[in-house]
Amino acid sequence: FRVERDQLVPIIFTSGAKEIVIDYTALITFHRLGLIPKLADIFDAIYYPDILNAVWEEDRQKYKPVQASQERIYEELKDKFERDLINCISLSGLYKGSEPELAVALSEKEGIPLVSAYLEKELVDGKPSVVVIRFNQILTHLYEKGRINESRYLELKRLSSDRESLITNGTDEIFKKADRLVFDSTTLEMAERFELIDTILGLGLKIVVEENVYLGVVRKIREGEYSNKVSLWQKDLQVIVSDLKKMNKKKLFVSEHIAVRSDVIQKNLHVQDILTVETFQMAEKKEVPLFVDDRFLQMQPTKNVTQKQFGSDALIKHLFDMKIISINEYAQAFLKLCE
């Protein structure tokens, strides 16, 4: 803390505190450290604003588990990129624009037909060299070449949907002359979903994408992994907060309604920001220490909270000093915090 006369005061746990208010940042951190059950050994009550339930609901919608079928699509595409079954060409520094615009630019630059189910006609107006093939036209070509049977062809036609074809004649000639096809990201995912990429490659055609399509696949895999992980620990955290009890069967975590100040309401803040304000208001009102891991919030000067803010680093040290956790548990928690 920075207090009067520019004195620096170390942030430490408020010794002897039996009741605290917990901020969402600290709640998440301590859960990830696996130490929330230990809080029942030192506190009688841990308070939080009931608006946190709305924040949890928002996070549940944001971090929904990714469908296994969608995960498979991205993993299979990544594998095909790594095995050079799908090639990337970078237009970085040469062109700027949206992903569909980059696909058009790549098609125009390399003279390769573009396969796109939903590309808007306006994006190729004035570009006579860009040939756009719809996904259904690919299906028809595969069927006519005997690569998929009639029932499979009709099934895929029913499951897929395209915009109106931009070329209606001469598709056989286009396929005959082409040795490469540019795919945009949406159509590439469709082809993988219907397990057609290997079939297309079997025609002797190579699939090419702009580099950002590959980067997008990698990003979606990472986002999916993160979303699945967050979804699991969010669910686990809610169960712990709801069910954790003291030895006397009294619930440890207590939610209470806090009336938001009128000046806060007028600012039309996001629910996450309102949660932060209400957490501070609750600590002020109860005049109890505030457990918070946001460094900025730890140093906020307030009437009843100043020098009563502390974070996970201070609390795990206190747990060790009180012999509630072992030296190994303390070291592991500290290293996780450093990560």
Average pLDDT, stretch 98-110?
A: 93
Three-state DSSP at 337 gives: helix
What are the pLDDT digits (tens) for 179-203? 999 999 999 999 999 999 999 999 9
Determine the pLDDT at residue 22: 93
Average pLDDT, stretch 65-79?
A: 88
What are the pLDDT digits (tens) for 269-282? 777 888 888 888 88
Residue carrying the six token digits 């009102």: 285
Determine the pLDDT at residue 1: 44
- Backbone φ and ψ for 42, nearest 5 degrees, come out as -125, -20
Kindly indicate the confidence band of residue 83, based on its pLDDT and cuts at 50, 70 and 90. Answer: very high
Of the listed ranges 134-143, 160-169, 282-291, the one predicted with least confidence: 160-169
Instruction: Give percent of the chain with pLDDT exceeding 70.
Output: 90
Average pLDDT, stretch 6-33?
A: 81
Answer yes or no: is pLDDT of 8 > 80: no
Q: Which residues have C-beta within 8 Å of that of residue 187, sequence separation ≥ 6?
A: 115, 116, 117, 118, 135
Determine the pLDDT at residue 2: 47
Average pLDDT, stretch 147-164?
A: 90
Closest to 310 measured CA to CA, from 46, 23, 50: 23
Are the CB atoms for 182 and 208 separated by under 8 Å? yes
Determine the pLDDT at residue 229: 81
Determine the pLDDT at residue 297: 64
The angle at the Cα of 185, spanning 196 to 177, to the nearest 5 degrees, equals 60
Residue carrying the six token digits 């995960």: 71
Instruction: Give percent of the chain with pLDDT exceeding 90.
Output: 50
Residue carrying the six token digits 């699509």: 73
Determine the pLDDT at residue 10: 62
* Distance of alpha carbon 25 from alpha carbon 7, whole angstroms: 27
Instruction: Concatenate the DSSP letters of all residues of 222-286 into one string.
Output: HHHHHHHHHHHHHHHHHHHHHH-B-TTS-BSEEEE--PPPHHHHHTT--HHHHHHHHHHHHHHHH
* Distance of alpha carbon 215 from alpha carbon 225, whole angstroms: 16
Determine the pLDDT at residue 264: 62
Answer yes or no: is pLDDT of 136 > 70: yes
Determine the pLDDT at residue 258: 85
